[in-house]
A and B are shown apart, each in its own frame.
Chain A
Amino acid sequence: MNMNAVLPQGSSKISAKALDVHYSEKQALFGVDLDIRAGEVTALIGPSGCGKSTFLRCINRMNDLVDGARVSGSLTLDGTDIYDRIIDVVQLRARVGMVFQKPNPFPKSIYDNVAYGPRIHGLAQDQAELDEIVMTSLEKAGLLNEVKDRLQESGTSLSGGQQQRLCIARAIAVEPEVILMDEPCSALDPIATAKVEELIDELRENFTIVIVTHSMQQAARVSQRTAFFHLGKLIEVGDTEQIFTNPQQPLTQGYITGRFG
């Protein structure tokens, strides 16, 4: 069951308080306080090395995979501490899906790419149910019409844009509550980008989405809230419209107008 169905839009889905992240000696995030609202798209922007991807990767504990990474402070999902010892990381990543910069379909058929998650999590009782999940996920990812006659072909045979939508279909097949996207369109052409952006807009009805992007125009187009990071600190967060027309912090202003020293 999708948890978002009971969460009113705009209430806080993810909440970071005084979040610090260290990679060995180097501190990557400094006391970040940030609430991510349910049913909205939140864009994280900032120059390279500002900590936006680090923040994103905390939410599904991808940073656990990095040697020497330490997380302190509090980060909660629906009020539960993501870094609590009792949290099963596999379960957490089923609730918090992720889409990466470069489309990374498994070297398997289109069908198996989407069926992979539901299979390992035991979400389908029988083949018919699995078929249903695969079709629905491809449909929601806006890919079904393009691939319905070639489900047994390899996922890697698709175009870049189709591969990225396949990865989104794969992410939503396990019915996550949150989808993290790390520059999902940076390897795509403008038409494929527009399709993914349209998809993001549709998905936010059912999912909470956090997207890291280097394209300010993309942040402006797809998100309702925008957070600006600089040198590991959250500088400003606000409604996207306000951030791009009337930012309150000089650093935000400097970054989005292209005046960075």
Chain B
Amino acid sequence: MSDHTVKSYDEELAHLTSILARMGGMAEAQFAAGIQALSKRDDDLAQRVIDGDSRIDELDQEIQTFAVRLLALRQPMASDLRQIVSALNISGEIERIGDYAANLGKRCLILNHLPVTAPVAGVVRLAELVRSLVKDILDAYLEQDVEKAIRVWSRDEEVDEMYNGVFRELIDQMTEDSGTITASTHLLFIAKNVERIGDHATNIAETLHFQILGTQPKGARPKGNTVGAPE
């Protein structure tokens, strides 16, 4: 799209996108580090993830403030309006992803110091899948690629299926060996939080669709059963 007649407006919109890109990159890195801390049982890394969350919250604040300023001063219309409103929305989603990553760090610290452990491979596999969705949706945002956003959106079902598998595994684990109940319960919460990160990626996909095309994606949102116990 061509530039605004008022150049500073373009610069402000570009600035908004760049803060959001930085924030998204940070949340993705936090999540990846959290997964690594879990699989490697790394206390230091887990602690760094916990400490890093405040920086994401700061960026979220910065975006909220800047977006409100743009709304007030530029009175944006059409695609500009959609871009700014979407930035507000997506910033909130990324902030939640950051919170779940930090929570993953906290649970890692607890898990690492439990006398009895439980296998983490299933949860790590689920987390890697969701991380790839987060990466793809952030790429889609930067490239303004609506096709890519729709692909992320339609893959949420995959996440839900894998989550159900992990849920069953952990229940089986607890049934077999009651000594692992504490560890497995923490893993269960991690799995649930990871599944929610997937939901946030889906929300971003919907917002991006609206930003680019002005409409919500067509059809019902792909949604598997995530109660954890399929009938």
The residues of A with any CB-CB pair to B shorter than 8 Å are 216-217, 220, 244-247, 252-254, 256-261
Q: Which residues of A contact B215 (CB under 8 A)?
A: 246
Minimum CB–CB distance from A255 to chain B (whole Å) comes to: 9
Q: Which residues 102-155 of B have a CB within 8 angstroms of A?
A: none
Select which of B1, B6, B9, B82 is within 8 A of A245 by beta carbon.
B82
Contacts A245-B78, A246-B82, A258-B4 known; 8 new A-B pairs at CB < 8 A: A245-B214, A253-B78, A254-B1, A256-B78, A257-B4, A259-B2, A259-B3, A259-B5
The residues of B with any CB-CB pair to A shorter than 8 Å are 1-6, 9, 75-82, 214-215
Q: Which chain B residue shows the least CB distance to A217?
A: B75
Docked pose: A220 CA to B76 CA in angstroms: 12
Most-contacted residue by chain A among B6, B78, B79 (CB, 10 A) = B78
SS class of chain A's interface: helix, strand, loop or mixed? helix
Docked pose: A217 CA to B139 CA in angstroms: 34
SS class of chain B's interface: helix, strand, loop or mixed? loop
Docked pose: A257 CA to B1 CA in angstroms: 11
Q: Are A258 and B9 in contact (CB under 8 A)?
A: yes
Given that A245-B214, A246-B214, A246-B215 are contacting pairs, would A257 and B79 also be in contact in the complex, using a CB cutoff of 8 Å? Answer: yes
Given that A217-B75, A257-B76 are contacting pairs, would A245 and B5 also be in contact in the complex, using a CB cutoff of 8 Å? Answer: no
Q: Which residues of A contact B9 (CB under 8 A)?
A: 258
Minimum CB–CB distance from A220 to chain B (whole Å) comes to: 8
Docked pose: A41 CA to B80 CA in angstroms: 25
Given that A258-B4, A258-B6, A260-B5 are contacting pairs, would A247 and B75 also be in contact in the complex, using a CB cutoff of 8 Å? Answer: no
Minimum CB–CB distance from A59 to chain B (whole Å) comes to: 27
Q: List 28 A-B contacts (CB under 8 A).
A: A217-B75, A244-B77, A244-B81, A245-B81, A245-B82, A245-B214, A246-B82, A246-B214, A246-B215, A247-B78, A252-B78, A253-B78, A253-B79, A254-B1, A254-B2, A256-B77, A257-B4, A257-B76, A257-B78, A257-B80, A258-B4, A258-B6, A259-B1, A259-B2, A259-B3, A259-B4, A259-B5, A261-B2
Q: Which chain A residue shows the least CB distance to B85?
A: A245
Q: Which residues of B contact A253 (CB under 8 A)?
A: 1, 78-79
Docked pose: A260 CA to B5 CA in angstroms: 7
Docked pose: A217 CA to B81 CA in angstroms: 13
Q: Which residues of B contact A246 (CB under 8 A)?
A: 78, 82, 214-215
Q: Which residues of B contact A257 (CB under 8 A)?
A: 4, 76-80
